[in-house]
Amino acid sequence: MSTPTSTPLLRAAGIGVRFGGVRALDGVDLALRPGEVCGLIGPNGAGKTTLFDVLSGVRRPDGGRVLLDGTDITRRSPVWRARHGMRRTFQRQQLFGQLTVADNLVVAQEWHGGGGGLAADLLGAPIRRPYERARRERAAAVLRACGLEAVAGSYAAALPVGRARMLELARAVADPPRVLLLDEPASGMTAEESRALSSVVRRLAAEEGCAVLLVEHDVSFVMELCERVVVLDLGRVLAEGTPSEVRADPRVREAYLGTGVVNRPPAQTS
């Protein structure tokens, strides 16, 4: 079992993003260590999604750097990052609705290649079979771990929202990630489903050393699951610490937790 070490796996240093006159991120620093589950919270418009976009390579920042294992990856594409073990889920589901639940997980592993190239794929060549078998076995194991084995043969589009969210997670971990960015993974889940989600995430971090960062509006869920919480407000890190430190921080209470303020005007550039 791995425990968090002091060397960051993923680091954001001085990240800045502007949208016209709006400073969505303003000098944000964040470090994720292997085996840790970190929560990212903050009011609407605080910059959480923008930070996820920068970390996953969907958006290039105006300033600052993103480092993976100490190497600058700021200009690397999302595909490059995915190939190097970074995975992300989105607020809006991105499943293949017309594929079965199990096939969604097999497809998630296909980028490794199946031996023999396109011709072998089209002809169903025997060379593909061991790869296919290994992927089906991995898919079955992940579906079991996520409590989805009963719906393995269902079309993804037919799943109720909580199970579809769980499938998003299953797909993100089908090929074991080193860094996992989860955008509102528990939204639409029942209490039982979000407990199952928590235990999958905990196991992934503890047993596989994956570094997990999750954005979630359900603050109790975050405080229960994460050992560290970062609070963003108006594009800056307002506070950071253990759940109890963050809860007790008067600035956090004022900006977010205590008042329930969720729609504040964005930060303007000077």
Ligand X SMILES: Nc1ncnc2c1ncn2[C@@H]1O[C@H](COP(=O)(O)OP(=O)(O)OP(=O)(O)O)[C@@H](O)[C@H]1O
42-67 burial: b if 16+ Cβ within 10 Å, else e:
bbebbbbbbbbbbbbbebebeebebb
Residue 268 interacts with ligand X (CB under 6 A): yes or no: no
Rounded least distance, CB 161 to ligand X, Å: 18
Nearest to 55 by CA among 21, 32, 35: 32
Q: Are 133 and 115 in contact (CB under 8 A)?
A: no
88-104 burial: b if 16+ Cβ within 10 Å, else e:
bbeeebebbeeebbbbb
Among 15, 24, 73, 212, binds ligand X (CB under 6 A): 24
Residue 48 interacts with ligand X (CB under 6 A): yes or no: yes
What the block records as the tokens of 214 is 């999750």
Listed ranges 19-27, 111-119, 136-144, 159-167: which one lies at the site for ligand X (CB under 6 A): 19-27
Q: Rounded to whole angstroms, how far apart are CA atoms 4 and 6?
A: 7
DSSP for residue 113: -
Rounded least distance, CB 43 to ligand X, Å: 7
Among 34, 42, 85, 177, binds ligand X (CB under 6 A): 42
Helix axes 161-173, 129-145, angle to 10 degrees: 130
- Other C-beta atoms lying within 10 Å of the C-beta of residue 237: 21
Q: Rounded to whole angstroms, how far apart are CA atoms 162 and 56?
A: 24
Residue 48 or residue 81: which is nearer to ligand X going by CB? 48
CA dihedral for 163, 101, 226, 53, sign (positive or negative)? negative
Residue 47 or residue 114: which is nearer to ligand X going by CB? 47
Residue 88 interacts with ligand X (CB under 6 A): yes or no: no
Among 2, 44, 220, 259, binds ligand X (CB under 6 A): 44
Residue 219 interacts with ligand X (CB under 6 A): yes or no: no
Among 49, 89, 104, 109, binds ligand X (CB under 6 A): 49
Residue 47 interacts with ligand X (CB under 6 A): yes or no: yes
Element housing 19 (H / E): strand 10-19
Rounded least distance, CB 212 to ligand X, Å: 18
Residue 71 or residue 263: which is nearer to ligand X going by CB? 263
Listed ranges 18-26, 67-75, 77-85, 112-120: which one lies at the site for ligand X (CB under 6 A): 18-26
Residue 45 interacts with ligand X (CB under 6 A): yes or no: yes
Residue 16 interacts with ligand X (CB under 6 A): yes or no: no
Residue 125 interacts with ligand X (CB under 6 A): yes or no: no
Residue 266 interacts with ligand X (CB under 6 A): yes or no: yes
Q: Give the footprint of ligand X on this chain (CB under 6 A).
A: 19, 22, 24, 42, 44-50, 266
